[in-house]
Amino acid sequence: MSSHVQVGEPQRWLRAPVLAALSFAALSFVALSLAALSGCHASAPEQKSEQGPKAEAAAENQAENKPVVDQKIASAMAAARSDAREGSSGGPGSPPPNGILGEDGAARELPAGSAAQLVLGANGAEPRVRLGAQHAASVGSGPSGTLRLSYRSGGSVLPTVEVDFKAKTSAATEAVAAPAGAATPAASAPLLATRFAFVSARPAADQPGRLPENARAEIAKLKGSWVDFVSAPTGGVQGQRQGVAGNNPVLQPLVQGSAVALAAVELPYPEVPVGVGAFWMVKSRETAEGADVVAYRMVKLTELAHDVAHLTVNTRRYLVAPKLALEGLPPHRVRQFQSQGSATLNLPVGAAYPSSAEVKDQFASIVSPEERPAQAMPVQSELSASLTFTP
C-alpha cells in the first residue's frame, strides 16, 4: 500500500480569523493512508524504580495464576501489558479486531450509566500505602490547575494553548449523571459531579508555528468552557459532558481534547494499600472525540518516594456504536476504530488528584459516508498535554 499522503495545504497556520477553520468539517477529511494510521501506536517508555521491575514481574505472575473472575477484563489487562502487539486474534474474550464493540457488546462489558469498575491485579511490594481520597470529602471545593494542550487533527496543527481551570465537586443531578440514551443509575447510588471550569486561556509560549495577530484574543474565548465528570465517591468516570463557551463550534476540538486529557487523571484507586509493582485495570464508559466508548486503563505503580506515588497509565478505548459525533462529519459508518493513550502521574499519598501529569493520546478511525459506502475516509487526531494541580 502506498504511503503517499495528499493533503491540502498541510501543516500551515490558518489565516484570520484564527481558529475559524478548526471545526472537524475542515480538519477531519485529510487524505491519510491506512499505513499512516497503523503507525500511530508508540507508547511512552515506562520509568521504573530499581525495585519496581522485580516486584512488578512477581506480582503479575502471581495475578495470572489467580482464577479469572471477568475474562474480558483479564483479556484487556493482557492487551494493555503488551501495547506493542498489533491486532487481535479475535478469539473468545478478545478485543474486537475493528475496535467496535457494538451496543450489545458494550452493555455486556459495562452498561451505560454504570460506575467505573476496578480490578486489582496485584497489590505490590512493601511498603504499601493507600492512594486517592474520596471525592465526597471535598464536595463544594476542588483543586485549581493549569492544562497545556497541543493538538493535531489530520495534517493541520492547532495552536498550543494553556488553560487555567478550577474544579468543583457537587452532588450530581440525574440529567448530568445519565448521558443521552444511557440507563438511569440506581437511585441509591451516590453520584458526584466534578466540573472543571476554564477560568482563563492563552497561547503557550512555545508554538509549532507563527501565530496570527489575533490568536490571543480568539484563544481567550475558551474562558467559560467546562468539562463535567460524574463518578461514584470512589472516583472513576461514570459519565461526562462538556460545554464550549458561547457555543462556539470552532473551539470545540480544544475542549474535546481537554476532556480527554482530564479523563486520564479522573481515576479510582484500590481500597487496599498498594506498593511498587501494584497494577489494576479500570473500565469505564466515556466520551472521546465525540464518540461513546468503553475505556480500559491499566494503571501501574512504578515508584514510591517521599510520599509520592509515580503511576503509569495505558489506555485503550473501544467504540460503542459505529458512528462518530464530530462537527461537520456527514452521515457515515465507522469501519475501523483505534484510540489509545499513555500517561504518567505523580500522586501525593492521600490526594485525590496528582500534583502533575503528562498525557499523550491518539485517535484514528476509518469511516465510509452513507452516500458512498465503498469510500474509506481516515479521521485522525493526536494530543499531548501537561497538567499541574494546586490543592
The dihedral formed by the CA atoms of 270, 276, 280 and 284, expressed in degrees to the nearest 10: 70
Sign of CA dihedral 183, 118, 312, 64: negative
Domain residue ranges of the chain, discontinuous segments joined by +: 24-390
What pLDDT is stored for residue 95 in this prediction? Answer: 80
What pLDDT is stored for residue 173 in this prediction? Answer: 67
How many CA atoms lie less than 13 Å away from 104 in the CB half-sphere?
0
What is the model's pTM? Answer: 0.75
Task: Compute the 3-state secondary structure of the chain and give helix, strand, coil in percent, each to the nearest 5.
Answer: 20, 35, 45
257-302 tens-digit pLDDT: 999 999 999 999 999 999 999 999 999 999 887 789 999 999 999 9
Least confident of 7-16, 99-108, 167-176, 243-252: 7-16
Cis peptide before 127 (omega within 30 of 0): yes
Sign of CA dihedral 148, 317, 346, 390: positive
191-212 tens-digit pLDDT: 888 999 999 999 999 998 888 8
* Cβ pair 33, 4 in contact under 8 A: yes
Sign of CA dihedral 305, 307, 308, 312: positive
34-86 tens-digit pLDDT: 222 223 333 333 333 444 444 444 444 443 333 333 454 555 555 544 443 34
* Cβ pair 311, 300 in contact under 8 A: yes
Least Cα distance to 207 among 275, 142, 249, 160 occurs for 160
